[in-house]
Amino acid sequence: MQQTATYLRRRPVGLICMIFIAVLAWLPNLASAQNTKLKPGFDKAEYKELMYMHVMLYDTGMMSRNKFPVPKPTLFKSIYSSPVMGLDNKWELWKNDASVAVINIRGTTTNAVGWLENFYAAMVPAKGELKLDNNFTFSYDLANHPRAAVHIGWLLGTAYLAKDIVPRIDSLYKMGIKDFLIMGHSQGGAICYLMTSHLYSLQKHGKLPKDIRFKSYCSASPKVGNTYFAYEYEDLVAGGWGFNVVNSADWVPEVPFSVQTLSDFNETNPFKNIDGIIKKQKLIARIGLRHAYKGLKKPSEKAQRNYEKYLGKYANKIVTKHLPEFQSPVYFKSSNYVRIGPTIMLLADEAYYKIFQDSEQQVFIHHGMSPYLHLVEQYKY
């Protein structure tokens, strides 16, 4: 030790070099700490604060029907509230003192137009364009797989909101804000999935800065797309940057109805060459197998066609009464809606049902913010 001290006194250049090397090693960690305010992983406190903000998006009359009052947010302040747009869509922008911003997306209200957005449930490709009016065409690229598809109604909501949200992100970025939480509950949770995918896509195509960090909480969300969209979304937010929060007693995450046909499987599957396999069987077996195969295949295909007919073409006629310049897209021949993770499962237990009892009259008893906040307090992970 004494020899080292003597060496450094005699050779100050060596001391300076050692200090310089140490500073260089420390600087990247300092920069990382300053530039990354959001942390990966599910954060109960973060989710609760987002829910407190979300309540503020609704009128007081609607919120007064909650079983328990929801606290007001304390860490964030609202800096912008959007007008109502599209099919009763709305969002709000919040910010805290640590320069983290929140894009909070409203769910369905009591307005029938907002419910129309939910029921407009045909699928469209996850990449394409929507012509919303004569001056606005929404280009989107939510997944690479050619068979990835999403819910047309919530894609409409995403389109209108994105037109307002993206310029706000740009403005905040110029002020030095690079960390954004994206949150929605119910219909807002569904749009949260699509908005998250859209914003990452804008980054990929150089239309948003690549050093912006997004973290998403899709709360009480219904199903927004098929398997191929789900796979890519889950990969997009892997590592703790996106969550699907579900109350196991809530029926909303179980909709829309899902119809899986043989065409929804991956290209390599045992059903693709089923006709050739059947032909190799003996006559009696061949007749029986062909009859069974048609009995399994045709009902699902018919159900999918009806789905597209009623929740696509018929619903579109009503949508165009509210959006007269909207041009109906070509629907994707699938209705294979799936739940999309990573999922935070809030498991309703016996104690929960003593407070929030099943009800035939109050069908949203398990869907509101109060039961979700109650269960997240019990969440252990």
Per-residue pLDDT tens over the stretch 180-189: 999 999 999 9
Quick one: pLDDT at residue 375?
A: 98
The amino acid that residue 325 corresponds to is E
How many CA within 13 A on the CB side of residue 151?
32
Kindly report, residue by residue over 192-240, the tens digit of the pLDDT.
999 999 999 999 999 999 999 999 999 999 999 999 999 999 999 999 9
Going by C-beta distance under 8 Å and a sequence separation of 6 or more, which residues neighbour residue 342?
234, 237, 238, 242, 243, 244
Please give the residue that has the higher pLDDT: either 110 or 26: 110
* Domain covering 39-259+319-378: architecture: 3-Layer(aba) Sandwich (3.40)
- Spatial contact of 219 and 372, defined as CB atoms under 8 Å apart: yes
Predicted confidence (pLDDT) at residue 265 exceeds the cutoff of 70: yes
Contact predicate 187/219, CB 8 Å: no
Across the range 259-273, mean pLDDT stands at: 88
Residue 82: CB atoms within 10 Å: 18
Q: What is the mean pLDDT of residues 132-155?
A: 97
**For 67-88, what is the mean pLDDT?**
92
Cβ contact 253:222 at 8 Å: yes
Among the listed residues 344, 343, 315, 349, the one whose alpha carbon sits nearest the alpha carbon of residue 329: 315
pLDDT at 16 over 60: no
Q: What is the mean pLDDT of the chain?
A: 89
Q: What percent of the chain has pLDDT over 90?
A: 78
- Break the chain down into helix, strand, coil percent, rounded to 5: 45, 20, 35
